[in-house]
A = this chain, B = another copy of it.
Amino acid sequence: MLDQEHAAGPRTPGTATRGETVPTVPPAATPARRPAADVTALLERGRTLATPVLRAAVDRLAPPMDTVAAYHFGWIDAAGNPADGDGGKAVRPALAVLSAEVTGAAPEVGVPGAVAVELVHNFSLLHDDLMDGDEQRRHRDTVWKVHGPAQAILVGDALFALANEVLLELGTVEAGRATRRLTAASRALIDGQAQDISYEHRERVSVEECLEMEGNKTGALLACASSIGAVLGGADDATADALERYGYHLGLAFQAVDDLLGIWGDPVATGKQTWSDLRQRKKSLPVVAALAAGGPASEQLGEILTADAKSSDFANFSEEEFAARAALIEQAGGREWTAEEARRQHTVAVEALDTVDMPDPVRESFTALADFVVVRKR
């Protein structure tokens, strides 16, 4: 799939229409240089290793929290029947088990790290969906919609505690170090959500503020995922720090692509509405970059968004009205800048690997996962 994407060659940013759905961002390095690590197999390996341990951890929760969590993870439906839910892309577990191999350890050594990171990620989803009032996630009603706000708070708390438990019960010095890094990532995640909430009430957000917020909300936990297996495998701090840098910038690339998909993504692939981020008035990278760019389209966009913020009729806007805003963002250069930013962050991420000594196949797998993140469609 990756090869197909690459064979199509780089597209000119700004020329795709929404129907085309893919803001493809070809990685800065040419695919020809890349050995072909199998991303599908890497994602599948992470999922296969982590899911049974994750389910066993969630099973430890007292009723009804176990049921609510199982619903959130897509393992059961709202009526309690088994379901085969969309568990997401599973990039984090893939990175966590891969990072164990940096130290020469078996991928299994990274599994408690993969599970802990997934638990923290899902704790933040449960709480953020409630704080943001989001009613849908992964094509399904969110937990607070189905089980009420109290359960969303409570089960989020429980998953957060469980994340530390899963690591600390290993009882090793390495587990203590891993928990400390996970705690730092969790704090960043919370900081990012605080910034996200405060930016909602502001008319203008700078590109730097947006990147800082996305680094906290997405970069920090991908950084932790990319290093936690190595930490559990006994890697030194310099190695763990370099892997964190890879993951942090990968996270920023990931989020830039997410911001493109949030406006120009295919609803069938993303599971979100058309123009999803515009409907939510989200100050995502393409928007803030367009507003910062200056020029006629940028100024016109600024005026329109200021009026939108005060409009009582916003909820009833038509497809065409959102399409017009997306076109202005594109004209002002917000789409191209964001695609370029994804490439920049991708490059920095892959370069961070250079300082780390690791087996070639592991390096190729990290690189392939980075490539995947920037060409994905959902």
Interface residues in chain A, defined as those with a beta carbon under 8 Å from any beta carbon in chain B: 62, 64-65, 123, 127, 130-131, 149-150, 153-154, 156-158, 160-162, 164-165, 168-169, 171, 173, 175-176, 179-180, 183-184, 186-187, 190-191, 193-195, 197-198
**Is there contact, CB below 8 Å, between B194 and A65?**
yes
**Is there contact, CB below 8 Å, between A154 and B193?**
yes
Selected from B62, B127, B169, the residue in CB contact (under 8 A) with A153 is B127
CB-CB under 8 A from A184, the residues of chain B are: 165
Query: This chain: how many copies in the complex?
Result: 2
A164-B164, A168-B176 are contacts. A62–B194 as well, Cβ < 8 Å?
yes
**Is there contact, CB below 8 Å, between A131 and B160?**
no
Selected from B160, B169, B179, the residue in CB contact (under 8 A) with A160 is B160
**Is there contact, CB below 8 Å, between B157 and A168?**
no
Selected from B62, B187, B198, the residue in CB contact (under 8 A) with A158 is B187
What does DSSP make chain A's interface, helix, strand, loop or mixed? helix
Selected from B158, B168, B183, B187, the residue in CB contact (under 8 A) with A190 is B158
CB-CB under 8 A from A198, the residues of chain B are: 64
CB-CB under 8 A from A154, the residues of chain B are: 127, 131, 190, 193-194, 197
CB-CB under 8 A from A173, the residues of chain B are: 173, 176
CB-CB under 8 A from A130, the residues of chain B are: 149, 153
**Is there contact, CB below 8 Å, between B197 and A183?**
no
Bound form: Cα–Cα A195–B197 in Å: 31
**Is there contact, CB below 8 Å, between A127 and B157?**
yes
Selected from B127, B153, B161, B183, the residue in CB contact (under 8 A) with A131 is B153
**Is there contact, CB below 8 Å, between A150 and B176?**
no
Selected from B161, B180, B191, the residue in CB contact (under 8 A) with A183 is B161
Bound form: Cα–Cα A150–B156 in Å: 14
CB-CB under 8 A from A171, the residues of chain B are: 176, 180
